[in-house]
Amino acid sequence: MITKWIGCFLFQITVNRDIAGIKRIWYTGKDMETATCLERTGRIQLIILGIDPGYAIVGWGCVRYERARFTPLDFGAVTTPAGMDFSERLERIYDELALLLAQKRPDAMAVEKLYFKNNQKTAIDVAQARGMVLLAARKAGVPLYEYTPLQVKSAVTGYGKAEKPQVMEMTRRLLGLREVPKPDDTADALAIAICHGQTGGTALKRRIVGGEIGK
């Protein structure tokens, strides 16, 4: 275990080597909500799972971030029928997310923060579904990051007040897709994953590239 002061933050760094000689570096810091894992193999690569929470549809998108480029690995949505008992809908969301995390094995999960102005009933239901997402990440030991809609828009388009079609189109371009993924929840999840790649842990990644960490 190596402990270093970087700026005004204390980071604990654990360095391990596997049989292939790949150095895996785990970081925890007071300025981060969770830990993140980066690989140093001459390049930096992150597998990010983006989640757009909901109780009818949970959009998800898995991308690889490497050399400042994004590659879509897989994406889709978890759906629950309207006639299903709400507790069963929550159970399905948890089970599907747990399976997804086990299959994709992401280095980080990025989730959109909730923001509702009017409909409190919808907000409560979405919050409960979102809780299943957070629980699945916690149980799987996957670092969790949360971003506001403003942060997602800024990271993807460079403009925090961008309209939804603009965000979707930029997401399509950044991922090199022929069409915007459907449903919209899936496209939103991919945008959230891109947001994490653009902003989450950026300072740490710069320090790794610069050789300040992991020597």
The CATH number of whichever domain residue 130 belongs to comes to 3.30.420.10
Q: Using a pLDDT cut of 70, give the percent of the chain over it.
A: 70
Is residue 42 in some structural domain? Answer: no
Is residue 75 in some structural domain? Answer: yes
- Catalytic residue flag (residue 184): no
From the candidates 96, 112, 146, 188, give the one annotated as an active-site residue: 112
Is residue 12 in some structural domain? Answer: no
pLDDT digits (tens, 9 = 90+) for 12-37: 333 333 323 333 333 333 333 333 44
From the candidates 52, 96, 146, 188, give the one annotated as an active-site residue: 52
Is residue 169 in some structural domain? Answer: yes
Mean pLDDT of the chain: 79
pLDDT digits (tens, 9 = 90+) for 139-197: 999 999 999 999 999 999 999 999 999 999 999 999 999 999 999 999 999 999 999 99
Contact 60, 51 (CB under 8 A): yes
- Quote the tokens at residue 3: 């402990």
Kindly provide the residue ranges of all beta strands, DSSP E only, lying in 53-140, ordered along the sequence: 57-66, 69-79, 108-112
- Catalytic residue flag (residue 52): yes
As for how many domains the chain has, the answer is 1
Is residue 15 in some structural domain? Answer: no
From the candidates 96, 107, 146, 185, give the one annotated as an active-site residue: 185
State which residues form the domain around 186.
47-210
CA distances, 35 to each of 20, 43, 137, 188 (Å): 24, 19, 12, 24
pTM: 0.75
Where residue 57 falls (left for φ over 0; alpha for ψ -120 to 50; beta otherwise) is beta
> C-alpha 111: how far from its chain's center?
6
- Catalytic residue flag (residue 185): yes
